[in-house]
């Protein structure tokens, strides 16, 4: 069971890191040709897009990274108790 817990932890932390990279790039102006930005976009978009569709915001407001990060931290907290 500890291998499953370790795998969930690694995946959650990797997604949180990718979300952070994506948000940081959004502050400085993302370049779609940048490999790091492209990787973070490809990893996080499947998780952020459904949240963005559920909570449409105005232009410039996107709370989906924060919401997905909170969900990932809840998953980490739950798995940490196992």
Say whether 57 sits in a helix, a strand or coil.
coil
| Domain boundaries of the chain, sorted by first residue | 2-53+62-80
The CA-based dihedral angle spanning residues 32, 38, 41, 44, taken in that order and rounded to the nearest 10 degrees: 180
Distance of CA 5 to the CA centre of its chain: 19
Q: What is the pLDDT of residue 57?
A: 79
Rounded average pLDDT per 10-residue block, the chain, 82 residues: 90 97 90 92 96 84 93 95 81
Q: What is the pLDDT of residue 5?
A: 93
5 touches 82 (CB < 8 A): yes
pTM (predicted TM-score): 0.89
């Amino acid at each position: 069971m500890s291998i499953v817990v370790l795998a969930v932890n690694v995946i959650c932390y990797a997604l949180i890191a990718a979300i952070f990279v994506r948000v940081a790039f959004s502050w400085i102006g993302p370049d779609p040709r940048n490999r790091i930005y492209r990787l973070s976009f490809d990893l996080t978009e499947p998780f952020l897009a459904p949240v963005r569709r559920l909570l449409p915001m105005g232009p410039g407001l996107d709370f989906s990274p924060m919401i997905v990060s909170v969900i990932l931290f809840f998953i980490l907290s739950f798995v940490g108790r196992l």
